[in-house]
Structure 1
Amino acid sequence: MRDLLTLRRERVIEKLLGLDATNIVTKPLKYGTQLITVGIVVTPAAWYVDSAGIPALRGMNVTSGKISNSNLVHISREGHAAHRKSTLRQGDLVVVRTGQAGAAAVIPPELDGANCIDLVLVRPSPDMNSKYLEYILNSDWAKRRVEQYSVGSIQSHFNVSAMKQMPVPVFPLAQQREVTKQVDKEVSAMEQILASMERANILLAERRQALITAAVTGQIDVTTAGRAAAG
C-alpha cells in the first residue's frame, strides 16, 4: 500500500506539473537561474570545527524535498570566507551529487547564510519559483534525466554542467505558483497517510522484537501459546 501510494503521489505531481504532456515545452535550467555551482569539494574536512562555526550541508542532510539538521557539520569562518560562492540563501536549492543523485530541497530561513559540501547549489532567477523547481527536480521525469547524465561505475555522480542542461518546463511565474499550491494541497494528504504507515511499521517492528525477546528469555511459555493457538 505504501508503494502504491508513493506511485500515486508521483503520478499526481507529474500530471499537475504538466510533465505527462507529449508536447511539453522546456528550456535548460541555466536560463531560469542566477547561479548553478558546487559546494566545497577539496578537502572539506580541513575546515571542520565545533558547533561554533558555520553550518554546512552534506549529501546525507538532503533527501527529496527535505533537509535534516541531523549530523550537521560546521566549518570555520575562514573556510566559509574562502568558499563564498557556495554560501546558501533562503530559497536556494541544494541537489545531491553522489549516491541519491538528483534529490533536491529548498533552503529554509534558518539555513540562510550556511554553506554546503559536495552539493549542487541552484539559485533560481526571479521568474522561477523555488518550490515549483523542487517538485520538478524530484519528479520521476527529472530523475530519468539525472540517471542519463550521471557518471560513475559504483555511485552515480551528477555534476554542475549536467544540472545546467536539465530541461525545465516553461511556465509564467504566476502559473508556477498556482500549480505549486495545487501540488501542495494534493500531496499533503498523501504524505500524512504515508507518515502514519511509517509509524505503524515502526510500532509493529518494535512489537515483533519485544515478542521475540520475551519468548527467548522465557517470559512467554511458547508451548502453552502454541497449544492455545492450535485450539
Structure 2
Amino acid sequence: MKEGPYKVFNQRSVIDADFSAGDNFISEEKFAELRGFTAFPGDVLVTTRGTIGRAAILPDNAEVGILHPCLLRVQVEKSKITSSYLCRLIQESHLLKTQLSLMSNSTTIEVIYSETMANLFIPVPPITEQGLIAAFLDDVIRKFGALTNDANESVRLLQERRSALISAAVTGKIDVRGWQPPASVQAPVLEAEAV
C-alpha cells in the first residue's frame, strides 16, 4: 500500500535485483527524518539479516528511496574500486562469503553490520582489470542463467507431456493393452528353482 512518494528498498529488492517491485513507501515527513538512509544510484546494497551477503547495484532509473534496516549501503571510491566489481565480489566470491559468515553475529539468524563490511579483506586489482573481471563474470552468469532457463523449460514440457500421456492412457484415448517396455528397460526374469 503506497503511503507516500518515497520507496523503501528491502532485502527482496536486492535478492531479486528488482528495485521497481514492492509497495513499501514512506511520507515526505518520514523521509525527512530518515534522509541519512537515502540510497543513491550506483550504491552497492548488501543484505544483512538471515540471507547475508547478497548484493545489487541501485540502478540510475531507481525511484528515490531509503534503505530498510536489513540492508547496508556501500559507496565506493571510484578511483580505487568499481561498484560492479565490488558487487560481483560480494555476491560470488568464496573469500568474501567466508569472511562475512565468520564475522556475522549469529545466534539463530546471521547478521552483519557496517563494521563487518569495513573490516573485510578485499582484493583490489587495477581498475581496468576490475572491469574485465566483472564483465567476464556477468557474461558467465548470463550464460548459466540461460542454460538454467532452458533446462527448467524442458522439465516443464516433459512434465506436461507425461501428464497428458498418463491422462490419455487412463481415459482410454490410447490403447496400452499388450504394451511391453523395450528389452533394454525390462527387468531380467529369474527362474525359480524347485526346492
TM class by smaller structure:
0.7 to 0.9
Quote the residue 1:63 is aligned against: 15
Structure (1/2) with the larger helix percentage: 1
Residue 87 of structure 1: CA displacement?
Answer: 0.8
Would the alpha carbon gap of residues 182 and 101 (structure 1) be closer, same or farther in structure 2, given more than 3 Å must change?
same
Would the alpha carbon gap of residues 208 and 71 (structure 1) be closer, same or farther in structure 2, given more than 3 Å must change?
farther
Residue 112 of structure 1: CA displacement?
Answer: 5.2
Q: Distance in 1 between matches of 2:105 and 2:48?
A: 10
Structure 2 residue identity aligned to 1:180: A
Q: 1:221 aligns with which of 155, 171, 195?
A: 171
TM (norm. structure 1) is 0.65
* Alignment map for 1:56-135 (pairs within 5 Å): 56-63=8-15, 66-67=17-18, 69-111=20-62, 113-118=64-69, 119-127=71-79, 128-135=81-88
Q: Is the deviation greater in 192-201 or in 123-132?
A: 192-201
SS of the aligned residue for 2:64 comes to coil
Task: Answer yes or no: is the 8 Å Cα contact 2:57–2:84 preserved in 1.
Answer: yes
TM (norm. structure 2) is 0.76
Task: Answer yes or no: is the 8 Å Cα contact 1:90–1:112 preserved in 2.
Answer: no
1:51-74 CA distances to partner (integer Å, 9 max, x unpaired)?
64211111122227x235333411
Paired-residue identity, %: 18
Quote the residue 2:6 is aligned against: 54
Q: 1:157 aligns with which of 111, 116, 119?
A: 111
Q: Distance in 1 between matches of 2:156 and 2:74?
A: 35
Q: Distance in 1 between matches of 2:178 and 2:97?
A: 52
Structure 2 residue identity aligned to 1:101: I
Structure ranking higher on relative contact order (CA contacts 8 Å, 6+ apart): 1
Residue 194 of structure 1: CA displacement?
Answer: 1.9
Q: Distance in 1 between matches of 2:152 and 2:20?
A: 20
CA RMSD of aligned residues (A): 3.0
SS of the aligned residue for 1:169 comes to coil
Q: Displaced runs of 4+ in structure 1, greater than 6 A?
A: none
Structure 2 residue identity aligned to 1:131: S
Specify every segment of 5 or more residues in structure 2 that has no aligned partner in the other structure, as ranges.
182-195
Would the alpha carbon gap of residues 183 and 50 (structure 1) be closer, same or farther in structure 2, given more than 3 Å must change?
same
Q: Distance in 2 between matches of 1:184 and 1:164?
A: 25
Task: Answer yes or no: is the 8 Å Cα contact 2:4–2:28 preserved in 1.
Answer: no
Q: Which has the larger radius of gyration?
A: 2
